[in-house]
Amino acid sequence: GTSSGGGGTGGKKGGKKEDTNWWTRLQKGDIPWDVREFRMYVVGSSFFWTMVVYYFFFRVPGREITWKDFVNSYLSKGVVSSQGNQNDKSKNIPGVCSSQYVWFNIGSVDTFERNLETVQQDLGIEVENRLPVVYSTESDGSFLLSLLPTILIIGSLLYTLRRGPAGLGRAGRGMGGLFSVGETTAKVLKDEIDVKFKDVAGCEEAKLEIMEFVNFLKNPKQYEDLGAKIPKGAILTGPPGTGKTLLAKATAGEANVPFITVNGSEFLEMFVGVGPARVRDLFALARKNAPCILFIDEIDAVGRKRGRGNFGGQSEQENTLNQLLVEMDGFNTTTNVVILAGTNRPDILDPALMRPGRFDRQIYIGPPDIKGRASIFKVHLRPLKLDTVLNKDNLARKLASLTPGFSGADIANVCNEAALIAARHLSDAINQKHFEQAIERVIGGLEKKTQVLQPEEKKTVAYHEAGHAVAGWFLEHADPLLKVSIIPRGKGLGYAQYLPKEQYLYTKEQLLDRMCMTLGGRVSEQIFFGRITTGAQDDLKKVTQSAYAQIVQFGMNEKVGQISFDLPRQGDMVLEKPYSEATARLIDEEVRSLINIAYERTLTLLTEKKAEVEKVALRLLEKEVLDKSDMLDLLGPRPFAEKSTYEEFVEGTGSLDEDTSLPEGLKDWNKDREKEKEETTDEQVARQISGGIPF
């Protein structure tokens, strides 16, 4: 989950960041022996300069000669007093200059001895006067050059071991890399996150549950006096973008206890046994920091249902899950470690992981309703520079009514897009038009005013969009129209924006009206051009999905009956259907029949309203964009009552805004933290008064 409320991100709070740059410290006269990089630099530099000094000042260089030079210039003239064989090099020390030596490569020792014996015989040297050969091992420093490739290979290997596959090991624990591959990569956070609960909106019930977990750790006596036990954990579920991770960040920012965070995918590595080892190390770290909160994000990476297969990575994942189950079940209620987890796919988690005793609470965070969206907009409008004529509360409510179905992440994106659009036009402040353009940008995609359409294509798009608009205008259960455009956006050549009401239950008649409105574009093409185009592909896809849902999931067909089967998710591999071939054939026939009924109904409606469709299409070709006022001029008032304002949408729900009140037991849930802040503030004031000395 991403943002559901404010846009706070992690970061150090307060205080000046400690200077860890060893070069800067060295320039200031402070020798940073505590910095590992500095120590490595000193060792490496010392080794390098030692070799340089030895090579240039202490090494006797000598001079290389050939075998022929040795025989003709030295041996035959009798100037060689002794000969030493060192490291397969023959060093000959002339008697005329004993302070230097010459040398030549001999290759094989046996060959050298035979050649030397032969030459001395040829020269007539007596046996007792022949040169003594002394064997020894010395170093002139040149061997380092031959060792350089080996040193580089070993150094690269050590670097790979330390920084390679497991190189993201947690700093300060073990040697790093493969040496710490079994250590957890979790991070312990305390006073390092600046997201607060006030930055989270649109999920008040979930926020109260999480507040209670923090209160468990800070004020356990409040619950133990009543005989209650601290819950061991909670799992946050819901669609992407609704605020699961943000809620965990706010918990870290508010809780006055250590907050340990880790991602589910970080347990699994390419090495067998690493996953269980990291789980053990993680929980050992949690016990060490108790009382604390442990947050495992995207737990479905490690918590998937165990299957029958036991091969490769699947076996490793199951072993990791088994270790996680054991560690969670092994906690007793006095450990004071609360486990939170987040996932978008609770349906694929292992049942043993979800049972009470491991995750006692399952907290669902769904898309916010209209009041929740208004609260989220208020959070994201705080840092924005708005036009002075705009009231933040009124603007938040209006935008909430224009964004049905938006998640917290979508709302954050809308606010950011509005600011970017204002900056693009060099505006001094963000006005309402910028927000409306941002909503269209998020819903429909990028506007492509420069995309060239042939006149015939543009005319087809205009009649297609007019068919949608007119069908929706005269169907009771269709959504109210806000805007229709034939300017291409995203992948579509036309765009229509509707204002659906907050609704959770749908009747068969309502779903049929929606199908008819969706088919309005294809029907309009058929009526006015006598042919159809590929422009309705997305419409047909939506209609087909709706028809299958009504028959397969909702039991809204008399022939198929009151049954319900799960439809496969997009991307899921379907090996077999949960019903017979005969039932599948019947379902396909009824889906086709239902779509035909909707098509014929739409054809009848638009044939009656053919003049209205043509008026709208011609105006679209003229203006390219029509709003609700234009539709009222062309078609007159819509014959059905509709809601369009925030106040109308929330009518009968008790209040205009989201209920953010706290129960009595949580009103002082963070009093220790507030007291600590007050003490910190008092200390800062005292420091300013006394010139930097706190009293």
Residues annotated as catalytic are: 465
Q: What is the DSSP pairing of strand 292-297 with strand 259-263? A: parallel
The position carrying tokens 């070799």 is: 51
Residue 70 per-residue DSSP state: I
Contacts 24+ apart (CB under 8 A), 457-461: 457/493, 458/486, 458/621, 459/617, 459/621, 460/525, 460/529, 460/533, 460/535, 461/486, 461/493, 461/494, 461/535
Q: How far apart (Å, rounded) are the C-alpha atoms in residues 235 and 297?
A: 10
Q: What is the DSSP pairing of strand 63-64 with strand 102-105? A: parallel
CB 439 within 8 A of CB 403: yes
Residue 497 per-residue DSSP state: E
Element (H, E) at 135: strand 133-136
Q: What is the DSSP pairing of strand 292-297 with strand 495-498? A: unpaired
Query: CA 565, 567, 568, 569 torsion: positive or negative?
Result: negative
Residue 437, C-beta contacts closer than 8 angstroms, at least 6 positions apart: 417, 418, 421
Q: How far apart (Å, rounded) are the C-alpha atoms in residues 397 and 395?
A: 5
Q: With 0-12 CB in 10 A as exposed, 13-18 as middle and 19+ as buried, what is 323? A: buried
CB 86 within 8 A of CB 95: no
Name which of 642, 605, 444 is nearest 513 in CA terms. 605
**Which pair of structure tokens corresponds to residue 314?**
């699947």
CB 378 within 8 A of CB 392: yes
